[in-house]
Amino acid sequence: MTFIFKHPKYYAALRAEKRKLQAASLKRQASEASSSKLQAQSDKLQAPSRKLQAPRSVNHDTFE
């Protein structure tokens, strides 16, 4: 296999394209991660609390 000379601008453009693709990939992964987090939170349903709250105690010391 023989070496084919490529102009330095070719490599600069190649690096720029690679960076652009990586940025798009990272952006897509971040949006997928945040959407999966939101979905995971919405999947959890909590049962309503049916605890009876104790009636507030009236301080009988003040009423004499």
Dump pLDDT digits (tens) for 15-42.
Answer: 999 999 999 998 888 887 776 655 555 5
* Token pair belonging to 16: 């720029």
| pLDDT of 54 higher than 80 | no
pLDDT of residue 62: 56
According to the model, what pLDDT value does residue 9 have? Answer: 95
Checking if the pLDDT of 46 tops 60, the result is yes
